[in-house]
Amino acid sequence: MTYRLMEGSEAIAEAMVAAGCRFFAGYPMTPFTEVLEHMARKLPAVGGVCMNAESELEAVGMAWGAAATGTAAATGSTGQGLSLMQESLSEICLARLPLVVLNMARAQGDYWQATRGGGHGDYRHLVLAPMDISEAVQLAPLAFSLAADWRNPVLVFGDYYLAHTSRSVEVPSPSPAGLAPADWALDGSSGGSGHAKLISPLGDAKQRHGVGYDLSLHYQDCVEATRAMLEGVNPMVETGYVEDADVIVVAFGTPARYVRAAVREMRQDGIPVGFIRPITLVPFPAAAIASAAETAAAVAVYENNQGQMVDDVRLAVLGRAPVHFIGGLSLDSSGFGIAPDLDVAVIRSRIEEVLRAAKEAP
């Protein structure tokens, strides 16, 4: 087992290449830029392709084309760049193609963008939210296999801390098998056979089938595929001390590490609090939150934004306990997401307020 001190961006790039990624396209934007740099260096060395796309629109388009050939492909940006990509992402979902998309976000304001999507139409993509570099390295192969299994984009939701901090991580070993060749992938060879392949967000029925474009049929098929995916993927979650907790704190990504540290510290002081950390944001671990809320006096949600995931927590809790938002946008002057509030003492004091209020309640 080899460990190396790596910046998160490099570790993620290395993990993606080890997971079989052979195509990457991106456009520089802080804090995503270094992932692109590392992919540009690492992919050609294994016979892959990294494109320095002229815009985010072209980056996602190139990745779409690569995905259609059955190549394990990825792209990414920050939330701002992902805004530009939304039109394509929704169409890629409707074209039923696998793709891994990174959001090296600034703070956590892109939760709704990640989980609801900013694009048109009735689509969903899976969302993985690693808490730190080690977990990001573990989730990279899962992202590619989920994308391939469900023929659907998978978003990996990181942030500035994940991209720009360094730690000693186990160097991922390349996946020996790689991904199974997809029977739908384009290589030109079905041309002239009478059954040439078609990959389209408008559906893959051909006029010779006597159907032509029937978007009601195709969109129903997509809805069915999405339903199967959301039911077929087990929500991933980390929980701690929830069984006898008076207050459950829910947080994801980097802030969840601080929440977890605050909760552990409070437990050492004998205070009955627990935490829940969603690892998949889509599907959302609603059952784990609902079951913890059965016995808790209150649920608190910490996010580095105005309160977005708190909606999903409320939907999961469904009135079993009061839900309090204890986060808030906490930024440095650059807006990149260096958060003054990411401090165990700050978070602990907010949890204590919720606990006090819960005890005072009749």
Residue ranges binding another protein (CB under 8 A): 22-23, 25, 49, 51, 53-55, 57-69, 71, 73, 87-88, 91, 95, 186-208, 212-213
Residues in the chain: 362
Dihedral through CA 55, CA 29, CA 24, CA 224, nearest 10? -80
Q: How far is the CB of 9 from another protein (least distance, A)?
A: 23
For the bound state, the minimum distance from the C-beta of residue 197 to another protein, rounded and expressed in Å, comes to: 5
Assigned token pair, 223: 């809805």
**Cβ atoms of 103 and 114 closer than 8 Å:** yes
Q: Which is nearer to another protein, 24 or 150 (CB)?
A: 24
Output 65 or 307, the one with its CB closest to another protein: 65
Element (H, E) at 218: helix 215-232
Task: State which residue, 98 or 327, has the beta carbon closest to another protein.
Answer: 98
* Shortest distance (Å) from residue 344 CB to another protein: 45
Least Å from the CB of residue 318 to another protein: 38
Task: State the Rg of the chain over Cα.
Answer: 21
Give min distance, CB of 70 to another protein, in A. Answer: 8
- Cβ-based nearer residue to another protein, 196 or 228: 196
Contact (CB, 8 A) for 170 and 181: no
Which of 104, 88, 107 has its CA nearest to residue 13? 104
Rounded CA-CA distance 194/202 in Å is 20
Q: Which residues contact 219 (CB under 8 A, 6 or more apart)?
A: 94, 121, 122
What residue has token string 């709704």? 112
Name all contacts of 231-234 with Cβ < 8 Å and 24+ positions apart.
232/150, 233/126, 233/146, 233/150, 233/280, 233/283, 234/283
Nearer of residues 147 and 247 to another protein, judged by Cβ = 147
C-beta closer to another protein: residue 87 or 311: 87
Q: Given the DSSP bridges, would you call strands 247-250 and 237-240 parallel, antiparallel or unpaired?
A: unpaired
Distance in Å, CB of 24 to another protein, minimum:
11
Nearer to another protein, 40 or 171 (CB): 40
Specify the residue, 43 or 317, whose C-beta has the smaller distance to another protein: 43
* Residue 158: both structure tokens together: 């990181």
Least CB distance to another protein at residue 103 (A): 20
**Residue number with CB closer to another protein (206 or 264):** 206
Taking the complex as a whole, the smallest distance from the CB of residue 53 to another protein amounts, in Å, to: 7
Which is it for the CA torsion 186, 192, 193, 196, positive or negative?
A: positive
Distances (CA, A) of 217 to 16, 205, 209, 239: 35, 10, 13, 41
Q: Report in angstroms how near the CB of residue 17 gets to another protein at its nearest.
A: 15
Distance separating alpha carbons of residues 256 and 253, to the nearest angstrom: 5
